[in-house]
Amino acid sequence: MAAVWQSELSPIVCRLIGYMAVHVAAMDIRERLARNLRLLRQEKGWSQEAFADEAGLHRTYISDLERGARNPTITVVDKLATALGVTPGRLLD
């Protein structure tokens, strides 16, 4: 009986582990982006509002990005990088 339970549970556990790995990886990249945005913005001496104006985005969106609460599109990452004068890859390093 225990062997049947384990064989039925195994695919579920595997899917859960896979989901968690993807989720953790997404969090890591959002955290890197958030940290880099904040540091580069502060190096320029910009407020979130000034940065948002430079990038053509809303201030609250910048705030969400800097907290790691949003998943920006690649187009938004490009806008952010252009405003900061760096490559998009620099934001994700």
Q: Are 48 and 66 in contact (CB under 8 A)?
A: yes
Q: Are 33 and 68 in contact (CB under 8 A)?
A: yes
Q: Is 70 exposed, middle or buried (0-12, 13-18, 19+ CB in 10 A)?
A: middle
Question: How much is the pLDDT for 22?
Answer: 58
- Rounded to an integer, what distance in angstroms lies between the CA atom of residue 70 and that of residue 59? 13
Calculate the alpha carbon distances from 72 to 26, 41, 59, 76, 78 in Å: 11, 17, 14, 6, 10
Question: How much is the pLDDT for 26?
Answer: 57
Question: How much is the pLDDT for 7?
Answer: 57
Show Cβ contacts of residue 30 under 8 Å, excluding neighbours closer than 6 positions.
68, 70, 71
Predicted confidence (pLDDT) per residue in 49-83, tens digit: 999 999 999 999 999 999 999 999 999 999 999 99
